[in-house]
Amino acid sequence: MKTVRTGGPLRRQLDEWRRTGGRVALVPTMGNLHDGHLRLVQLAREHGERVVVSIFVNPTQFEPGGDYANYPRTLERDRRRLRGAGADLLFVPEIATVYPFGVENATRVRVPGLSDELCGAFRPGHFEGVTSVVLRLFTLTLPDVAVFGAKDYQQQVLIRRMVDDLHLPIRIVTAPTVREADGLAYSSRNQYLTEDERRIAPGLYETLAGVARALADGDADHAALTRRAMHELAQKGFAPEYVAIRRAADLALPEPGTRDLVVLAAARLGKARLIDNIRTRVPL
């Protein structure tokens, strides 16, 4: 697995692969890789002959005073894991490669509406930072396919929307959430949990699973279901931000008759902010 840090060598390698007819699949990450990321790489292998993984801790998606400076940078370990998972190229750009005119002067792209809802309501500017950097990673690598995790459900919906809106010829593939044995979704944020918090953390998935089950059993009172779930999370020791039931395809508010739903939540537990979601299908 080759590592490149700048646009020139990246382009040259990708051009050579394209000349020989291979599809390029991109897995954008911020590093500190866990089993969930490795699953993205495996899925990328199924969709492309060449797999590029980017590691870039993107400053524009962190809140001012947030954990950008302290975000774990574990390049050597990440490199070993990616080699084992079968990535072909690791792209680790410097800030100046991604933002050649500087972060402050950078062109930005924002999907209106949904960027400010759900997690966006609690993290102002976050999704604008995400869509802006993902577009840059796309224009740097020009992938045929890009793979994102379903755990960041709102993120992948926004990226699909941006791709459709800008007519980008990139196929977005969403990988299922990888969970630990007790149901907790893999996340870089889990390492902020103390031992006691780690014991409580799977409760987020359990609460969402309860809501998903109730919906699948025909309970259509979304307001009561989300209110009870918020209460349950607080009882378990979380500081819940939101629990929401939305249309799975685009996160719109469900109308009567919408059958494919997703239940999403964000909750703080100590220093960690955990998010999770479960899709469900309601009866006719």
Asked if residues 202 and 182 have their Cβ atoms less than 8 Å apart, the reply is yes
Asked if residues 91 and 54 have their Cβ atoms less than 8 Å apart, the reply is yes
- Closest CB to ligand PAF among 68 and 206? 68
From the candidates 34, 37, 47, 222, which is the catalytic residue? 37
DSSP string, 221-269: -HHHHHHHHHHHHHHHT-EEEEEEEEETTT-PPPPTT--EEEEEEEEEE
Please report which residue ranges of the chain form alpha helices under DSSP H: 7-19, 35-47, 75-85, 95-98, 119-122, 126-141, 153-165, 195-200, 203-216, 222-236
Question: What are the angstrom distances between the C-alpha of 278 and each of 98, 159, 186, 247?
Answer: 33, 19, 14, 12
Distance between CA atoms of 276 and 150, rounded to whole angstroms?
Answer: 9
- Identify whether 37 is a catalytic site residue: yes
Distance between CA atoms of 67 and 44, rounded to whole angstroms?
Answer: 29
CB of 6 to ligand PAF, least distance (A): 18
- Closest CB to ligand PAF among 25 and 30? 30
Distance between CA atoms of 61 and 113, rounded to whole angstroms?
Answer: 17
- Closest CB to ligand PAF among 172 and 245? 172
CB of 195 to ligand PAF, least distance (A): 26
CB of 149 to ligand PAF, least distance (A): 7
Asked if residues 93 and 56 have their Cβ atoms less than 8 Å apart, the reply is yes
CB of 12 to ligand PAF, least distance (A): 23
CB of 20 to ligand PAF, least distance (A): 27
Residues near ligand PAF (CB under 6 A)? 28-30, 58, 61, 130, 133-134, 152, 155
- Closest CB to ligand PAF among 119 and 134? 134
Distance of CA 102 to the CA centre of its chain: 25
- Closest CB to ligand PAF among 129 and 254? 129
Q: Which residues are catalytic?
A: 37
